[in-house]
Chains A and B, each alone.
Chain A
Amino acid sequence: MPLLKSLFGNKPPEPEPEPEPEPPPQTSLLDRLKLGIRKTRAGLMEAIDDTIHGKKQIDADLLEELEYALISADIGVKTSTEVLERIRQRVDRKLVNDSAELKGLIREHLLEVLQGADRPMQRAAEPPTVILMVGVNGVGKTTTIGKLANHFKSSGHSVLLCAADTFRAAAIEQLEVWGNRTQIEVIRQQQGSDPSAVLFDALNAAKARKFGYVIVDTAGRLHTKANLMLELEKMRRTAQRVIPDAPHEVLLVMDATTGQNGLEQARKFTESSGVTGIVLTKLDGTAKGGVVVAIARELALPIRFVGVGEQLDDLLPFDPEKFVFSLFE
């Protein structure tokens, strides 16, 4: 890549844009989660509150509006219908009289779905624990990796990053900036090199030097591209050659703005790379990311973390109870 070399050789590295916003207040995890998904709540719960406060009686109109509230959170027609069906039955049997009870019922059901999929993060018996990050283009994989690395590091683990997105222009540099910010080493090769080769190097290094975690960045790829999905399968096999039970976690990074296509993404990535969990990013916007409920319901994939901003510590472990609680407070 003489072209790239000359480009990066002649140019001094991008001056690192220092995050200058006010220091994040020391607040409890719950508060931060609430803060992060404030808008989520505002959307969904406002809609439900509006419908409930406006009407005392539970009638077809109210149920329809509730359904729209759920759908507008991207929870999906199927899951929404299921929730509503349950309520409808109870209403028919006169088990629910008060529209305020509806909230509790919806919460209960969503919680049930999310908890049903929950399971603890896998860790290697013998370090390193290898975490493969996958996802479609533009969901925030690299940013999430920076934050995730910081998360492990600040809880006392040694972390190694692996720049296996060798496809997108400047992806390696982007990961390196995060490496600098977090003071974490990045194993890299040239743009355009074989991602499996980078992975092989990184895992060997991590094994030899006994790192606690290796987090592997991969190129964003649409789940419909068979060749690129095969590449992920190859990366899995490569990882297994170095560390037989690797990767220990395969995290699918998903943008909270994603609609119903998220389900198909989860399905296809699970088929090819054995996804073990979801990281839901960009929850600091107005998008609700409700499609993860559908994913938990249909594929039993747990949500591991949520991204709520662009700062290093804007990644929070996902807790179904707190999540639903924050939604329904």
Chain B
Amino acid sequence: MFENLSEKLQRALKSLRGEGKLTAENMEAGLREIRVALLEADVHFKVVKQLIDGIKEKALGQEVLTALSPGQQVVKILRDEMVKILGTHQSKLRMANEPPTVIFMVGLQGSGKTTSTAKLAKWLVKNGRTPVLVSVDVYRPAARQQLAVLARDLKIPVFAGPEGENRPLELARGARREAMQTGRDTVMVDTAGRLHIDDELMAELSELKDALTPAEILFVADAMTGQDAVKSADEFHKRLGITGIVLTKMDGDARGGAALSIRQVTGQPLKFVGTGEKPDALEPFHPERVVSRILGMGDVLSLIEKVEENIDQKKAEEMQRKLLEDDFTLSDFRDQLTQLRKIGSLESLMEMMPKVGIFKELQKQKVDEKELTRVVAIIDSMTPRERANHMIINGSRRRRIAKGSGTTVQDVNNLLKQYGEARKMMKSISGGLMGMGAGGGKLGAMLGKRMGKFKMPPFPGKW
């Protein structure tokens, strides 16, 4: 859907091939493309202007490198500039010297504060901390219930306050008292969404801040925000002094240019990125990845990390050996599919791929999660012997398997055919990737499987 910026630049800067140096004139078409791309990604226009000026300055007079095409060269400069704005390091959370550490979640209505509060609480627990949550959103109907339900599912305590208590300050204070009494080391305060121009509610936040001296005030911002991001972030920062940014809804297809604007106007680091509705869909922020995304270049790093996090190392190595020895059976195939599902939805995986080449084609196809379930069902309906040696699966066995898995013989045929192709494909890929070390090999094998599976159109018709 989005065209890769470097592809666009490639076209715009094609004429540069013959030239020795980048000049203002020969770069102009390319810079125009960059400008449009950044604006379409919702980067604030002033930031865009700065970036373009920066590139001009950096690129002017540079030799046209032979290794990189002029387009790539300009994109590289742009990337570096953007990473510089976003900051090169991912930030950690600040903790108070004296527990409990108080963390505020603030932002506009609907930016995802409550969901992020729950996710961050889970993240804290994973990192050995003992948070207690409190919602001081006494305005939105059922807001406090929402946090209570989320926390209950995560088995993290919530301070509900005494019956009928409706004063944010008292609720927050009570939560801190409770943390001290029960020895919990972090208090997360989920505040009500408010407009940055709502004087009264902004004053309420300052009051909360004065009373609780939070170590972190995290500004929760929607990745889909447009040019207004600058105004709201600026105002929140001026009034409260935010200490970090959480960028939410990054599992959609918004480019997230607002990240650049917010960072630029507040000078505060982006700390986390929300990537889904599940409580563990929160990732530490990596500048390079967001830059790639704003430029439409995919987020391969996040993908690798996800794969590594969820794949059983030993199993993967075993799988690789099997591949090499041509010992890859249908039950291995099933195991692989099951492992793959652990990584996340197919869609979220596809979203992270660069939008070029083979991936671009894949992304156009509707990925049906159920397809995987059906494949697994078919394999489950086989006998161990059949799984070990697919060659023995004759017509009558196929009929039985189809019956057992609630599919048709044709589906079983399809699966077997795909399995055969996947085997072939993987063999060649894993052979080629052996030199890349364990990590690359594993990923390669996984992707190989992916491609093997998707090389043919996804099961047609009724699948």
Q: Check if A242 is an interface residue, CB within 8 A of chain B.
A: no
**In the complex, which residues of chain A have a beta carbon less than 8 angstroms from the beta carbon of B226?**
74, 257-260, 262, 287, 290-291
A14 and B142 in contact, given A77-B39, A262-B224 (Cβ under 8 angstroms):
yes
Q: Please report the total number of A residues contacting B with Cβ < 8 Å.
A: 60
Query: A287, B40: Cβ atoms under 8 Å?
Result: no
Query: B369, A227: Cβ atoms under 8 Å?
Result: yes
**In the complex, which residues of chain B have a beta carbon less than 8 angstroms from the beta carbon of A191?**
149
Q: Check if B232 is an interface residue, CB within 8 A of chain A.
A: yes
A264 and B253 in contact, given A138-B111, A257-B228, A257-B229 (Cβ under 8 angstroms):
yes
Q: Within A57-104, which residues are at the interface with B (CB < 8 Å)?
A: 68, 71-74, 76-77
Residue of B nearest to A259 (CB): B226
A39, A225, A256: residue with the most chain B Cβ atoms closer than 10 Å? A225
Query: A136, B252: Cβ atoms under 8 Å?
Result: yes
Residue of B nearest to A282 (CB): B109
A255 and B110 in contact, given A136-B224, A137-B249, A178-B141 (Cβ under 8 angstroms):
yes
Q: Check if B299 is an interface residue, CB within 8 A of chain A.
A: no
Q: Check if A212 is an interface residue, CB within 8 A of chain B.
A: no
Q: How far is the CA of A3 from the CA of B164 in the complex (A)?
A: 23
Residue of A nearest to B224 (CB): A261
**In the complex, which residues of chain B have a beta carbon less than 8 angstroms from the beta carbon of A224?**
251-253, 347, 351
Query: B195, A259: Cβ atoms under 8 Å?
Result: no
Q: How far is the CB of B153 from chain A (nearest CB, A)?
A: 7
Q: Within B359-393, which residues are at the interface with A (CB < 8 Å)?
A: 366-369
Q: Please report the total number of B residues contacting A with Cβ < 8 Å.
A: 60
The segment from B60-68, B254-262, B429-437, B440-448 found at the interface with A is B254-262
Q: Within B213-237, which residues are at the interface with A (CB < 8 Å)?
A: 222, 224-229, 231-232
Q: Which of A77, A223, A226, A261 contacts B36 (CB 8 A)?
A: A77
Query: A173, B227: Cβ atoms under 8 Å?
Result: no
B39, B41, B196: residue with the most chain A Cβ atoms closer than 10 Å? B39
Q: Check if A299 is an interface residue, CB within 8 A of chain B.
A: no
Q: How far is the CA of A265 from the CA of B1 in the complex (A)?
A: 12
Q: Which of B227, B347, B366 contacts A259 (CB 8 A)?
A: B227
Q: How far is the CA of A262 from the CA of B225 in the complex (A)?
A: 9
Q: Interface code A174-213, partner B: CB below 8 Å = 1, 0 otherwise?
A: 1011100000000000010000000000000000000000
Q: How far is the CB of B236 from chain A (nearest CB, A)?
A: 12
Q: Within B375-434, which residues are at the interface with A (CB < 8 Å)?
A: none
Q: Check if B286 is an interface residue, CB within 8 A of chain A.
A: no
Q: How far is the CA of A305 from the CA of B44 in the complex (A)?
A: 27
Q: Check if B190 is an interface residue, CB within 8 A of chain A.
A: no
Q: Check if A127 is an interface residue, CB within 8 A of chain B.
A: no
Q: How far is the CA of A284 from the CA of B231 in the complex (A)?
A: 14
Query: B110, A140: Cβ atoms under 8 Å?
Result: yes
Q: How far is the CA of A140 from the CA of B110 in the complex (A)?
A: 7
Q: How far is the CA of A15 from the CA of B167 in the complex (A)?
A: 12
Q: Which of B145, B232, B251, B252 contacts A257 (CB 8 A)?
A: B232
Query: B232, A285: Cβ atoms under 8 Å?
Result: yes
Q: How far is the CB of B6 from chain A (nearest CB, A)?
A: 19
Q: How far is the CA of A285 from the CA of B153 in the complex (A)?
A: 34
Q: Check if B146 is an interface residue, CB within 8 A of chain A.
A: yes
Q: Which of A137, A170, A260, A262 contacts B145 (CB 8 A)?
A: A170
**In the complex, which residues of chain B have a beta carbon less than 8 angstroms from the beta carbon of A287?**
226, 228, 231-232
Q: Check if A168 is an interface residue, CB within 8 A of chain B.
A: yes
Q: Check if B314 is an interface residue, CB within 8 A of chain A.
A: no
Q: Interface code B86-124, partner A: CB below 8 Å = 1, 0 otherwise?
A: 000000000000000000000011111000000000000
Q: How far is the CA of A257 from the CA of B351 in the complex (A)?
A: 23
Q: How far is the CB of B230 from chain A (nearest CB, A)?
A: 9
Q: Check if B169 is an interface residue, CB within 8 A of chain A.
A: no
Q: Check if B306 is an interface residue, CB within 8 A of chain A.
A: no
A173 and B145 in contact, given A257-B108, A258-B224, A264-B1 (Cβ under 8 angstroms):
yes
A77, A140, A169, A288: residue with the most chain B Cβ atoms closer than 10 Å? A169
Q: Check if B140 is an interface residue, CB within 8 A of chain A.
A: yes
Q: Check if B166 is an interface residue, CB within 8 A of chain A.
A: yes
Residue of B nearest to A16 (CB): B141
Q: How far is the CA of A324 from the CA of B258 in the complex (A)?
A: 26
A170 and B195 in contact, given A77-B40, A259-B225, A264-B253 (Cβ under 8 angstroms):
no
Q: Interface code A257-277, partner B: CB below 8 Å = 1, 0 otherwise?
A: 111111011000000000000
Q: Check if B288 is an interface residue, CB within 8 A of chain A.
A: no
Query: A138, B231: Cβ atoms under 8 Å?
Result: no
Q: Check if B144 is an interface residue, CB within 8 A of chain A.
A: yes
**In the complex, which residues of chain A have a beta carbon less than 8 angstroms from the beta carbon of B164?**
15
Q: Check if A115 is an interface residue, CB within 8 A of chain B.
A: no
Residue of B nearest to A168 (CB): B146
**In the complex, which residues of chain B have a beta carbon less than 8 angstroms from the beta carbon of A156?**
none
Q: How far is the CA of A169 from the CA of B148 in the complex (A)?
A: 9
Query: B254, A259: Cβ atoms under 8 Å?
Result: yes
Q: How far is the CB of B363 from chain A (nearest CB, A)?
A: 10
Residue of B nearest to A73 (CB): B227
Q: How far is the CB of A152 from chain B (nearest CB, A)?
A: 19
**In the complex, which residues of chain B have a beta carbon less than 8 angstroms from the beta carbon of A226?**
347, 366-368
Q: How far is the CA of A285 from the CA of B110 in the complex (A)?
A: 13
Query: B232, A286: Cβ atoms under 8 Å?
Result: yes
Q: Interface code A1-40, partner B: CB below 8 Å = 1, 0 otherwise?
A: 0011001100110111100000000000000000000010
Q: How far is the CB of B362 from chain A (nearest CB, A)?
A: 13
Residue of B nearest to A258 (CB): B224
**In the complex, which residues of chain A have a beta carbon less than 8 angstroms from the beta carbon of B459?**
none
Residue of A nearest to B139 (CB): A17
Q: How far is the CA of A17 from the CA of B138 in the complex (A)?
A: 7
**In the complex, which residues of chain A have a beta carbon less than 8 angstroms from the beta carbon of B139?**
17, 310
A285 and B228 in contact, given A16-B141, A77-B36, A170-B142 (Cβ under 8 angstroms):
yes
Residue of B nearest to A284 (CB): B195
Q: Within B138-166, which residues are at the interface with A (CB < 8 Å)?
A: 138-150, 152-153, 160, 163-164, 166
**In the complex, which residues of chain B have a beta carbon less than 8 angstroms from the beta carbon of A169?**
145-147, 149-150, 153
**In the complex, which residues of chain B have a beta carbon less than 8 angstroms from the beta carbon of A7?**
148-149, 152
**In the complex, which residues of chain A have a beta carbon less than 8 angstroms from the beta carbon of B351?**
224
Query: A139, B149: Cβ atoms under 8 Å?
Result: no
Q: How far is the CA of A12 from the CA of B160 in the complex (A)?
A: 12
Query: A74, B227: Cβ atoms under 8 Å?
Result: yes
Query: A285, B254: Cβ atoms under 8 Å?
Result: no
Q: How far is the CB of A272 from chain B (nearest CB, A)?
A: 11
**In the complex, which residues of chain B have a beta carbon less than 8 angstroms from the beta carbon of A142?**
141
Query: B109, A259: Cβ atoms under 8 Å?
Result: no
Q: How far is the CB of B99 from chain A (nearest CB, A)?
A: 28
Query: Which 6 residue pairs across A and B have the least CB separation, nearest first?
Result: A259-B226, A138-B110, A177-B141, A259-B42, A169-B149, A287-B228
25 contacts between A and B (CB under 8 A): A14-B142, A15-B164, A15-B166, A17-B141, A68-B45, A71-B45, A71-B227, A74-B227, A136-B249, A137-B110, A142-B141, A169-B153, A170-B149, A173-B145, A174-B141, A174-B142, A225-B345, A256-B228, A257-B108, A257-B225, A260-B226, A264-B1, A282-B108, A282-B195, A286-B231
